[in-house]
Structure 1
């Protein structure tokens, strides 16, 4: 069986083509999950796993991207991320390359905001050619807001200062909480039914994304778009942006700015310029929305051939090997530390100091034994000497001499115990108890021996 060469894949080729398929087909996606296995090597890149109750996926967020994240991710944290599916070719693992990360609660609202914005933009609600110019001679302004909020006080103060002749009609409504968007829609519809004002100012003070969420309602967007009266949206602070801002004919950054925009002043051209600028901004945003998709498509095509992607793959591989090396070094150091401790214990056990202490104790013990043995030996020998002295004294000639006896010896110190050993003329020595006597044999008698003293 002959296999065509072009049908035989290498592992590298297979992983590369799988990566291109995944990146080309799926593009950018939003993903919600719980962080686990988070690590941040010295390179500055982030590596983590996103999981839910049933599955998990490996993720990487490179240094250039994670610098824009306003918080430090931790294991167990629920987050919403946006990124592109890719394949880490050295391992053959598919992963998510994260571009942006938000906490789950705020992130879900931001995702819903972006989804609704794209949807309404596609329906044409943001189109610049649908925006209506403000009346040139405004006599009455309808203000849709809470009658007890700070926004109405700011609006009234600005209008009284700039143009006290303008009449103000307040359409009170709830501007925060559940069903607030429904109440705002009702207020807009009432104003359109009465047609008693020249323009509507939809406004409230600043707040969090959750506080302003009622102004991101799809129903409210359609109500604003279908309003017969021009609507100026002045919601929150300058940094706050809502769907009502995109749909309204003009967006004002603050309630006070909205009141200034609707009131006459000496710089009439400034009003016209502000309107033109607002419409230009809306047109630019609309154009931006249309070109973003085109840009993302071009980004996908660029990423397939971009050397930077290969460098990211190599950087990720380097980080992975670095983590493994650090773990191996830590384990090696731990083993060496245990071995050093073991050798130290053995050395302590074999220490000369320890042996010297043992030998010193042994010498002291032996010295005590030797001293005891010498004392016992001396005592025993003393007893033996005393006994021997007694025995010797018992048989000592001196003892015999002390009883009146004497000992006689010849010139050769031989004891004379019989006359048979004597001859006339022999010199004799006689030892008494006290002193000795020298004599010469002159006569030998069997009965007695005559001594001649010299």
Structure 2
């Protein structure tokens, strides 16, 4: 006991603080795959959950500054890939993970592979502007490498037909999705280079998910694009989609239609040249910004280790626990108040104005019957007036004249005979009476 000093004796708080610093500084960043359970999202905006597999589990916290960048809704039972740093929640002595990013397991692995390949190729200089080949100012033939049935091909051909119908186009059909797509696209680029019949190549397809576009993040395809002697425009997906092919190509177009506009001329070909330079500038800026983001991420990680935000996060976690206790108390109080309200509602139902509503319903039915009776009387009067009008019409009818003893005489052509001089011997006459007709011959 004599060898012990005050420096050798730890308090519980000091022990937990030392262990926390040891975990955070020695372990650094880890990637972890697991299943979400016990997920909760208090009003503070922070997330708390447990990641588990078949044999173990670990508690996690993801603070709102980081979870705002998560593009899906975490749910219990969902497999995820997380980037996190090890820490310790000192008040309870719980070992936990502080999650910095979270993605669904499949997309997360693809994104991780994308980032690793991007850093590898960037380190080799494949994205450098000095390696970019300039596009021909006036192409004589354009090559298109895409699916022969995809919408991208039809978009490209429509734009070229509208802007420069005389520009020849060579299509190198290939699949643009699936396990074999990257190799087929690389072979099509090699075929175009060996045939050497085009001044520029457009390689791309329409939009889709990260998995759909994954063949354009293939290392073999990227190196094939970089080695191509023909300038290549990458036109993959929509404007928000970014692939490795976009970084290594000589030019990136936001859409297949935009790529067609870059290689075709119209009456405003000067604008095209400006657009080409604009695209080069945008590509250079994208590459520069990508490098700066990586550099900033490294500096940010170093800063976070010394940032007082860690202490604020721990205090925020304590606040969330207190808040949850308050919510439980409030829920119990609200339950008691709901029961009191339900008792009051039962008393109100005992004095419900159902009888008054019944009287009003009977009155409404009587008014409805009066309306029906009035409509019947109106219909009867209308029918009587119609009968009188029909009777008046009948009195002036030619048929009524025939009924009074008059007749109408017509010749064989149907012409009415009004004078004796209109007929001659041997003519056949038809005399119409009220109840029929009489045929006669003039003697």
TM-score (norm 2): 0.69
**Which residue pairs with 1:76 in the alignment?**
77
Residue 74 of structure 1 deviates from its aligned partner by 1.8
Query: Alignment partner of 2:50: what SS?
Result: strand
Give the greater-gyration-radius structure (CA). Answer: 1
Q: Is the 8 A contact 1:20 1:304 kept in 2?
A: no
Unaligned stretches of 5+ in structure 1?
337-454
On the 8 A contact 2:59/2:96 being kept in 1, the answer is yes
Match in the other structure for 2:382 = none
Whether the 8 Å CA contact 1:144–1:173 is kept in 2: the answer is yes
Question: What's 1:155 paired with?
Answer: 156
1:62 to partner: Cα distance: 1.7
Q: Structure 2 unaligned segments of length 5 or more: list them.
A: 337-443
Q: In 2, distance between residues paired with 1:196 and 1:22?
A: 61
Distance 1:326 1:160, change over 3 A: closer
Q: Is the partner of 2:91 in helix, strand or coil?
A: coil
- String of CA shifts for 1:273-323, please: whole Å, max 9, x gaps: 333333333333333443344323332333233232211101101222443
Counterpart in the other structure of 2:115: 114
Cα deviation 1:241-260 (Å, max 9, x = unaligned): 21111111101111110000
Cα contact 2:247–2:287 (8 A) shared by 1? no
Aligned equivalents of 1:65, 1:250: Cα separation in 2: 33
Alpha-carbon RMSD across the aligned residues, in angstroms, is 2.7
Q: Which moved more, 1:323-332 or 1:249-258?
A: 323-332
Counterpart mapping for 1:288-327 below 5 A: 288-324=289-325
Q: Matched residue of 1:265: which SS?
A: coil
Is 1:133 equivalent to 2:169 in the alignment? Answer: no
Return closer, same or farther for 1:10/1:265 CA change in 2, 3 Å cut-off: farther
The 1-side partners of 2:295 and 2:181 are apart by 36
Change in 2 beyond 3 A, CA 1:42/1:131: same
Q: How far apart, CA to CA, are the structure 1 residues paired with 2:287 and 2:29?
A: 21
Report the Cα distance in structure 2 between the residues aligned to 1:51 and 1:176, rounded to whole angstroms.
33
Counterpart of 2:184 in structure 1 is 183
SS of alignment partner, residue 74 of structure 1: coil
Query: Match of 2:369?
Result: none
Distance 1:299 1:193 in 2: 47
Query: Measured at CA, do residues 304 and 104 of structure 1 come closer, stay the same or move farther in structure 2, by a change above 3 Å?
Result: closer
The 3-state SS of whatever aligns with 1:50 is: strand
* Residue in structure 2 matched with residue 283 of structure 1 by the alignment: 284
Instruction: Measure the CA separation in 2 of the matches of 1:10 and 1:126.
Output: 54
8 Å CA contact 2:137–2:273 kept in 1: the answer is no
Partner of 1:135, secondary structure, is coil
* Mapped contact 1:27–1:300 kept (Cα < 8 A): no
Aligned residues: 336
SS in 2 for 1:148: coil
Q: Is the 8 A contact 1:35 1:49 kept in 2?
A: yes
Between 1:72-81 and 1:295-304, the stretch displaced more is 295-304
Query: 1:269/1:83 Cα in 2 relative to 1: closer, same or farther (>3 Å)?
Result: farther
Aligned residues of 2:51 and 2:57 also touching (Cα < 8 A) = yes
**For the structure 1 residues 227 and 322, does the alpha-carbon distance in structure 2 shift closer, same or farther, using more than 3 Å as the test?**
same
User: Are the counterparts in 1 of residues 32 and 82 from structure 2 also a CA contact under 8 Å?
Assistant: yes
